[in-house]
Amino acid sequence: MTNIEKLNAAFVEALDLDPNESIRDSYSYGDPKWDSVAHMALVVSIEAQFDIMMETDDVIDLSSFGKGKEILAKYGINF
Amino acid sequence: MESIFNLQGKVGIVTGATRGIGWSIAQALASKGMNLILNSISNQELLNERINELKENFKIEADGFLFDVSEPNSVKECYNQIFKKYKRLDVLVNNAGIMKDALIPMISSEMIDRILDVNVKGVIYNLQYASRLMGRNKSGSIINVASIIGRVGNEGQVVYSASKSAVIGLTYSAAKELASQNIRVNAIAPGFIETDMIKDVPPDKFNKISENIKMKRLGTPDDIAKSVLYLASDLSNYVTGQVLGVDGGMLV
Ligand SMILES: NC(=O)c1ccc[n+]([C@@H]2O[C@H](COP(=O)([O-])OP(=O)(O)OC[C@H]3O[C@@H](n4cnc5c(N)ncnc54)[C@H](OP(=O)(O)O)[C@@H]3O)[C@@H](O)[C@H]2O)c1
């Protein structure tokens, strides 16, 4: 799987999104299905997909799909 | 029933694990095969001894990290190491805690800060990182060591009781938040337990408290460890958001 596919998969699994639709960068916290409880599941899912442990500040900053890509770059994961 | 108690291959962390209640908890978990990470704050030599003792006696993997639970960066580093080595976490026992007594006029702001930092913030930092590791396997048990004082209070313990009531409150909230990920969060509220922590209690106070124990003996660290074993194992797999009093009947 490419990194973008992995990130997509993490979102689909954690937020129960349609697996056939690719997620737009603008998809954000507060949009349908991405609430505070789902946020924790999303973080866990991203960490498991990329085998990393994120800083608490990054967990807080993870506010959109696009921001997720930016944050992951810090961990050497590029898109 | 024996297999339900089996913790073989699972990974747990116990804070404040070198002495008193924490050390008994560590031995109880290790005796059921759990691999352990021990934490304490002041004595590297003792921590090393404890690790070796567990490895020799129970043939488990054991590691130790000396740090102050109220230091977020140290907590983070510890969980990074757990992640690197084990890639999983099954049990967190938030046991590290301090007790200092002072009557209301004598409470200093430094004392408030220190007790709340260790007893409350330390618990939250560990809970934050542990729950993320546990979330990966959609299972885990977090056990917070509160106190009977957090339930009913005590003269001279305004700050300590506030900290332990906070532990009870955060246990309820975390249990609600983490249940959907199959992570259970419970608290144990020990009564009067024979450890270094109570060795400086003045004799008159000591006698007064002892008289309230219906079972007519002080608790031992082992009494607490047995309850932790219950909450850590699958024996309690449908139990969350509970505060288990282990106090010899001090409240009945
Ligand atoms: N004993 C009782 O009657 C009683 C009753 C109710 C609740 N409790 C609670 O039970 C827990 C354990 O108490 P205990 O009686 O076993 O205490 P204890 O004998 O004083 O042992 C405390 C342990 O915590 C560690 N510790 C203290 N501050 C720490 C910090 N900031 N960061 C990391 N580790 C730290 C100590 O490490 P070092 O060895 O390095 O100092 C030690 O291993 C506490 O939360 C306490 O409030 C005790």
- pLDDT tens digits for A31-77? 999 998 899 999 999 999 999 999 999 999 999 999 999 999 999 99
Considering only the beta carbons, identify the residue of A37, A48, A51 that sits closest to B180. Answer: A37
In a domain, A42, yes or no: yes
Token pair, residue A22, equals: 């690719």
Q: Which residue of B has its CA nearest to A50?
A: B136
Residues of B in contact with A43 (CB under 8 A): 132, 135
* Residue B9 Cα to ligand 1 middle (Å): 27
Residues in the ligand 1 pocket, defined by CB under 6 Å: B 15-22, 39-43, 68-70, 95-99, 118, 145, 147, 190, 192-193, 195-198
- Say what the pLDDT of residue B5 is: 82
Sketch the domain layout of chain B as residue ranges: 2-245
3-state helix, strand, coil in chain B (%, to 5): 55, 15, 30
- Give the nearest chain B residue to A45 (CA atoms): B136
* pLDDT for res B1: 61
Q: What is the pLDDT of residue A58?
A: 95
Number of domains composing chain A: 1
Range 191-210 of B in CB contact (< 8 A) with A: none
Put simply, whether B80 touches A (Cβ < 8 Å) is yes
Across the interface, do B136 and A44 touch by the CB < 8 Å criterion? yes
What is the SS3 assignment for chain A?
A: CCHHHHHHHHHHHHHCCCCCCCCCCCCECCCCCCCHHHHHHHHHHHHHHHCCCCCHHHHHHCCEHHHHHHHHHCCCCCC
Is A17 within 8 Å of chain B by CB? no
* Amino acid identity at B249: G
Q: Helix, strand, or coil here: A12?
A: helix
* CATH 3.90.1300.10 corresponds to the domain B2-245: no
Sheet holding B140-145, edge to edge: B62-66, B35-40, B11-14, B91-94, B140-145, B183-190, B243-246
Q: Which two tokens stand for residue A62?
A: 């993870």
Q: Which domain holds residue A57?
A: 3-19+27-73
pTM for the model? 0.95
Question: Which one, of B190, B22, B18, B198, lies nearest residue B101 by Cα?
Answer: B198
**Domain-embedded: residue A15:** yes
Cα(A36)–Cα(A63) distance, integer angstroms: 11
For residue A63, being part of any structural domain is answered with yes
Q: Is residue A43 part of a domain?
A: yes
Report the pLDDT value the prediction gives residue B222, as an integer from 0 to 100: 98
Structural domain includes residue A7 = yes
- The secondary structure element, H or E, covering residue B48 is helix B44-58
Nearest CA in chain B to A55: B76
Look at residue B32 in the predicted model and tell me its pLDDT. Answer: 97
Residue A22 binned pLDDT confidence (cut-offs 50, 70, 90): confident
Give the residue whose CA is nearest to atom 8 of ligand 1: B147
> Separation of B115 CA from ligand 1 center, angstroms?
12
* Res B82: pLDDT: 96
pLDDT at B3: 75
Low-confidence ranges of chain B (pLDDT < 50): none
Atom 30 (ligand 1): residue with closest C-alpha?
B68
Residue A38's domain is classified under what CATH number? 1.10.1200.10
Residues of B identified as active-site: 160
